[in-house]
Amino acid sequence: MNRHDIALIGFGGVNRALAQIIHERADELTDQLGFALRVVAITDLRLGSLMQADGIDLGEVFAMSPMDTFAGRPGGAAVPQNDFVIRNTTADIVVEATFTNPLDGEPAVSHVRAAIESGKSVATTNKGPVALAGTELNRLAAAHGVTFEYEGSVVSGTPILRFAGETLKGLRVNGVQGILNGTSNYVLGQMESGMTLDDAVAEAQALGYAEADPTADIEGSDVQLKIVILANEILGAQITTADVERRGISEVSAADIIDAAARGSRWKLIGSASRDADGNVVATVEPVALPSTHPLASVSGPTNAVSFDTDLLGTVTVSGPGAGRMETAYALLSDIIAIDAHQRSMIGASE
Ligand SMILES: NC(=O)c1ccc[n+]([C@@H]2O[C@H](COP(=O)([O-])OP(=O)(O)OC[C@H]3O[C@@H](n4cnc5c(N)ncnc54)[C@H](O)[C@@H]3O)[C@@H](O)[C@H]2O)c1
Ligand SMILES: N[C@@H](CCO)C(=O)O
């Protein structure tokens, strides 16, 4: 029986949820997928680091008291030691789910680079490395014969990137637009019901939707990273965040929301990227008051939706969870499945 050993870098909401899936559904997953999963390393800013080549008892980790760290356990230390753990773990897959840094993607870019350089495949939900160093990291992974997967970096567990990359093959996609941030969409909905922006953001944080610094959700830099990923992956662009004009929902007041509702409209934070007449990709992030007849107007709460403008099919819209710990952990599981399939195809090709 094939098995993948996993190192979890960052042990917050998303990676904890992945560990929970692995812990609670081990036998079912093995039967369904044809391979077993085992966690052999964990690092976290607060907990420190833990490396156990025979497999970490996740039940024990979940039972740790909130103030406890990994110090004193076999293979444990009070500090994360990310680079050491990533390079020396016996894991064949590194799962990176630390904070997204929208400025330079660090330290996650270095985490991904270290994993690839030491021959490990990577799954990440962290938008920083994908949006800000995706081309370099994909090339590095190809050069090392490993796989870099990042389905959860856009629209959480809803498989937008694989849908566009595999299912829409043969079509020309000329543009993509959508609601790409669960927190801001949730907040706008709560504000429609009379809640203040600050209270709605606090709720989104408690529900696990918001970034560690929710300014990224409210001011649009989270969507800016996601639209860079979509433009580069789907439209074949080579844009950076500097190419994406950005405005966030802090510009939308409670009065604007009431006015829009009176006119039958709803405010949404829309990210879009499309080719202009010269073939250049133009990308923006901005709040827009959509008429109720618009397909994106009815998308509520942390749900996201992405519309692909195609030549042969017209507009194709996919909608699903855009944030949430367990929903995003599923994206990581889908990446691990893709890594397994890629490894099997490499073995098959060499036989
Ligand atoms: N929560 C969601 O809905 C969601 C959806 C899609 C993508 N993401 C992305 O997934 C990642 C994880 O999200 P989350 O909700 O689990 O965040 P979180 O804040 O709950 O957890 C992040 C964890 O990483 C740890 N960490 C941060 N920097 C570290 C470092 N240098 N070394 C070791 N540990 C470090 C923190 O201590 C924390 O426990 C983020 O990049 C986020 O943008 C989250
Ligand atoms: N904070 C992000 C998480 C998903 O990337 C959101 O609310 O959409």
Q: Strands 281-291, 265-275: parallel, antiparallel or unpaired by DSSP?
A: antiparallel
Torsion of CA 78, 38, 145, 230, to 10 degrees: -80
Question: What CATH number has the domain spanning 2-156+326-350?
Answer: 3.40.50.720
ipTM of the complex as predicted? 0.99
| 1 has pLDDT over 70 | no
Question: CB neighbours (10 Å) of residue 91?
Answer: 24
- What is the 306 CA–ligand 2 centroid distance (Å)? 14
Separation CA 4–CA 339 (nearest Å): 10
Residue having the nearest C-alpha atom to atom 28 of ligand 1? 98
Residue with tokens 């879009």: 272
153-172 average pLDDT score: 96
- What is the 44 CA–ligand 2 centroid distance (Å)? 20
Structure-token pair, residue 280: 């250049």
Separation CA 81–CA 161 (nearest Å): 32
Separation CA 282–CA 270 (nearest Å): 14
Question: What are the CA-CA distances from residue 284 to residues 61, 231, 288 (Å)?
Answer: 43, 11, 11
Ligand 2 mutation target, pool 211, 224, 304, 330, most atoms within 8 A of CB: 211
Torsion of CA 326, 332, 336, 338, to 10 degrees: 110
Report the range of poorest mean pLDDT among 62-71, 117-126, 144-153, 342-351.
342-351
With 0-12 / 13-18 / 19 or more C-beta atoms within 10 angstroms meaning exposed / middle / buried, residue 118 is middle
| Residue 127 annotated as lining a ligand binding site | yes
Separation CA 106–CA 100 (nearest Å): 8
Atom of ligand 1 nearest to the CA of 98: 24
**pLDDT for res 60:** 97
- Does ligand 2 have an atom closer than 6 angstroms to the CB of 210? yes
- Its pTM stands at 0.96
Backbone angles phi, psi at 296, to 5 degrees: -90, -10
Q: Which CATH superfamily is domain 168-320 in?
A: Dihydrodipicolinate Reductase; domain 2 (3.30.360.10)
pLDDT tens column, 261-301: 999 999 999 999 999 999 999 999 999 999 999 999 999 99
Q: Strands 265-275, 173-179: parallel, antiparallel or unpaired by DSSP?
A: antiparallel
**pLDDT for res 351:** 76
Separation CA 293–CA 299 (nearest Å): 12
142-153 average pLDDT score: 98
Residue having the nearest C-alpha atom to atom 23 of ligand 1? 12
Ligand 1 mutation target, pool 15, 68, 98, most atoms within 8 A of CB: 98
- What is the 202 CA–ligand 1 centroid distance (Å)? 17
254-260 average pLDDT score: 96
315-321 average pLDDT score: 97
CB 340 within 8 A of CB 35: yes
**pLDDT for res 346:** 82
- Does ligand 2 have an atom closer than 6 angstroms to the CB of 284? no
Residue having the nearest C-alpha atom to atom 33 of ligand 1? 44
pLDDT tens column, 180-208: 999 999 999 999 999 999 999 999 999 99
- Does ligand 2 have an atom closer than 6 angstroms to the CB of 183? yes
Please state the domain extents for the chain: 2-156+326-350, 168-320
Active site residue 226: yes
- Does ligand 2 have an atom closer than 6 angstroms to the CB of 224? no
- Does ligand 1 have an atom closer than 6 angstroms to the CB of 13? yes
